[in-house]
Structure 1
Amino acid sequence: MKKIVILLSVMVLAILAACSSDSSADKELETIILADAGWDSVRVHNGIAQTIIEEGFGYETEVTAGSTAATVQGHRDGDVHVYTEIWTDNIKEVYEEAIEEGDFEKVSVNFDDNNQGLYVPTYVIEGDEERGIEPVAPDLRTVEDLKDYPDVFEDPEDPGRGRIINAPSGWAVAETIDQKFEAYGLDETMNNFMPGSDSAAVADLVDAYEAGEPWVGYYWSPTLVTAKYDLTLLEEPEYDEEIWNETRATEFPPNDVVVTVHKDFPEQAPDVYEFLGNYETSSELTEEALVYMDENDADPEEAAKWWMQEHEDIWTSWVSEDIADKVKDALE
């Protein structure tokens, strides 16, 4: 008899747990939480989405900041409802696992015309007559070529060896750069320097650029850096999935940057879910907001509102006319 009672108790608990889970999924949200993984473009897209969500649909919004790994895990767990800028291939295994297991859902492609890899200022290769800069590596073309130029990109802390600036520690792409170092033999002559933050890497680049000195490191578009400075992306062999999976010794794979929502979100905020399914921009459009931030000493939220005023035809196509009118009134 005790066995039957225990079995029935377990069954009841399972049913209650399932009901509790269902009620959680069905419960409408009052506050929608977005992810901030630490760079300005995602902050601008958050600002655009938040303005529409708050002013058009009447929800409150909050932002959870953290590393890519932490915010993606929070997204899987439901602590983050919306991610406006997931770089799918940078976290390919985790992303595909989360999609396959149904933890979150891709609802749209924000942009897919981005680039990433190792950049040098163009004057390193071509010079800059206007600034009186002579080319110091006119034959530099590929990432693998870098190992022949330790003297050009000399590490100030290790004379005789060069320095390549990696992605910041904690970023998923930093491990990819580590693998490229080994695959191309860069570690023979170059040091793999990992900055503590994106701002530290940018400061290092800006100091070198303004002084007209050589610099090489990881960066990506769309960013203020690639919009503001004349940089050249060093070449790599054409993307090959087999080689990439084995050594990373190809160019970065096509990397859709997507908008995702937690699995429960379609039931919790169906109106916002529909809007996010229409969200689409481009690298060029994103960089416009980033340049505005820089030139006007604006924060991402201010840049987002400026962008919306400049591109009313774009964002109003994502929502119904009555929602668009509410948002336009709020922007005036």
Structure 2
Amino acid sequence: MLRKLSIVFLLILTSLGFIAGNVNAANEQAKQEVVFADAGWDSVKFHNAVAGFIGTHAYNITPKIISGSTPIIQTALLRGDVDVHMELWTDNVPTFEADMKTGKLLNLGINFDDDKQGLYVPRYLIEGDAKRGIKPLAPDLKTVKDLARYAYLFKDPEDPSKGRLYGAIPGWSIDKILYLKYEAYGLNKNYVYFRSGSEPALNSAFLAAYTKGEPIVGYNYEPTWLTGKLDLVLLQDEPYNEVGFQRGLTEARSVPVCIVANKQLQSKAPEFVAFLQNITQPAHSPRKRWRTLQIPNAPMTRLPSGSCSATPSCLHSGCLRISCKASTKHSKEIMLLQPTGFLAFPKKFRWTGLSPSTISSTTSTPPTPASSIR
């Protein structure tokens, strides 16, 4: 009798294990893979990591990251190879309006719109810096066109008879526009248009010059860790108009940076799409919010197994609040705080309805960002 009961008990346990296994398998199968676009800059990596983490734990998705330049990413987004771009800089994608009219894409709203881009110089170049013993070498430098009078300050190491103007990254849309400006304003007569080859190389050039208190002029944009850390001045330009901008004849406006998804994501992960539609950030976010410092071999934040990885090899000061209200069930507000300063996922969450898993940091070298385009 005892033996029969043991056999029955064993069969019950086996059955329960089989059922549990099937349930787990079903749950795994129910997870939807969502492909995020990584165009290479810090803020898009950060937003991918935040949305991917929340999506994993609240909306049953499995995030995947695909890297590439904006033309490649845009093509992949239209084809459905990429599901969502968390930071599509609309003015820098010439085909944006036409692509939206195809009906293949969903504009889920503005991620942020207080950005800037253009040619920057250190403030000490114009105003001096008494604490550092730096005199103002170009007190009348206010506009891009004024650069024509100051080429001698920015001597090109390879051709000292000309100045060096640091352009944007090869392959970025804005690089083509800046080069048109360089020619249209006659700066090609006394400047070399120098392409650094990568964003880290461009940032290193700014950092090196700034540390030494030397003149430098070149492309950059906000918000970024560099423009947050260094006191830079964006040179003025002609008032923006769309046609003029594309020809390099005006300033760049503050671009609506949108969250854009392939239409198929709506049927694949409707609740996650609703969540993305309700991401908001404070208007006119201060530049210091992105004040970060890239350092080698910085801790790399890893999300739980099966999820995406956050990049950032950088330091971050302050806090960033992202409010998300997709539904009553998943309504939440996340306060991202980093007492240690690392731009990574925080130890403190205000999270309604869900308990996020513990996030671990490992000391590994983050991957080199792929060439990208704003």
TM-score by structure 1 length? 0.83
Q: 1:94: Cα distance to partner?
A: 1.6
2:120 alignment partner AA = Y
Equivalent position of 1:95 in the other structure:
96
- CA 216–302 in structure 1, closer or farther in 2 if over 3 Å, else same: closer
Counterparts of 1:90-169 in structure 2, within 5 Å, are 90-91=92-93, 93-169=94-170
Equivalent position of 2:250 in the other structure:
250
Q: Residue by residue, what CA displacement relative to the aligned partner does 1:217-260 show, whole Å, maximum 9, x if unpaired?
A: 00000100111100000000111334335x32111134100001
Q: Residue by residue, what CA displacement relative to the aligned partner does 1:3-61 show, whole Å, maximum 9, x if unpaired?
A: xxxxxxxxxxxxxxxxxxxxxxxx98721010000100100111111111011112111
Equivalent position of 1:44 in the other structure:
46
Partners of 1:205 and 1:188 lie apart in 2 by 23
Equivalent position of 1:15 in the other structure:
none
User: Could you say what secondary structure the match of 1:164 adopts?
Assistant: strand
- CA 146–285 in structure 1, closer or farther in 2 if over 3 Å, else same: closer
Contact between 1:118 and 1:219, CA under 8 Å: does it hold in 2?
yes
Partners of 2:86 and 2:328 lie apart in 1 by 20
Partners of 1:299 and 1:144 lie apart in 2 by 42
Equivalent position of 1:330 in the other structure:
357
Equivalent position of 1:13 in the other structure:
none
- Aligned with residue 70 of structure 1, among 69, 72, 97: 72
Q: 1:287: Cα distance to partner?
A: 5.6
Q: 1:68: Cα distance to partner?
A: 1.3
Counterparts of 1:253-292 in structure 2, within 5 Å, are 253-281=253-281, 284=285, 288=289, 291=292
Q: Residue by residue, what CA displacement relative to the aligned partner does 1:275-327 show, whole Å, maximum 9, x if unpaired?
A: 111122256378635528769945473779x99x9556x33445545464355
2:133 alignment partner AA = G
Partners of 2:252 and 2:120 lie apart in 1 by 13
Contact between 2:117 and 2:252, CA under 8 Å: does it hold in 1?
yes
Partners of 1:289 and 1:297 lie apart in 2 by 17
Counterparts of 1:155-194 in structure 2, within 5 Å, are 155-194=156-195
Contact between 2:177 and 2:245, CA under 8 Å: does it hold in 1?
no
1:268 alignment partner AA = K
Q: Which has the larger radius of gyration?
A: 2
* Percent identical residues: 35
Q: Which has the higher helix share?
A: 1
Task: Tell me how many residue pairs correspond in the alignment.
Answer: 301
Contact between 1:154 and 1:162, CA under 8 Å: does it hold in 2?
yes
- CA 289–59 in structure 1, closer or farther in 2 if over 3 Å, else same: farther
- Aligned with residue 315 of structure 1, among 323, 338, 344: 323
User: Could you say what secondary structure the match of 1:210 adopts?
Assistant: helix
Equivalent position of 1:5 in the other structure:
none
State the superposition RMSD in angstroms: 2.8
Equivalent position of 2:306 in the other structure:
none
Q: 1:328: Cα distance to partner?
A: 4.6
Partners of 2:271 and 2:298 lie apart in 1 by 34
Equivalent position of 1:216 in the other structure:
217
- CA 271–287 in structure 1, closer or farther in 2 if over 3 Å, else same: farther
Q: 1:192: Cα distance to partner?
A: 0.6
Q: Which deviates more, 214-223 or 282-291?
A: 282-291
Q: Residue by residue, what CA displacement relative to the aligned partner does 1:184-221 show, whole Å, maximum 9, x if unpaired?
A: 11111111111110011001111111011011000000
- Structure 1 unmatched runs, 5+: 1-26
Partners of 1:328 and 1:270 lie apart in 2 by 22
Contact between 2:229 and 2:293, CA under 8 Å: does it hold in 1?
no
2:261 alignment partner AA = V
Partners of 1:316 and 1:331 lie apart in 2 by 20
Partners of 1:318 and 1:271 lie apart in 2 by 7
TM-score by structure 2 length? 0.74
Partners of 1:252 and 1:192 lie apart in 2 by 19
Would you say 1:233 and 2:234 are equivalent positions?
yes
Between 1 and 2, higher relative CO (CA 8 Å, sep ≥ 6) is seen in 1
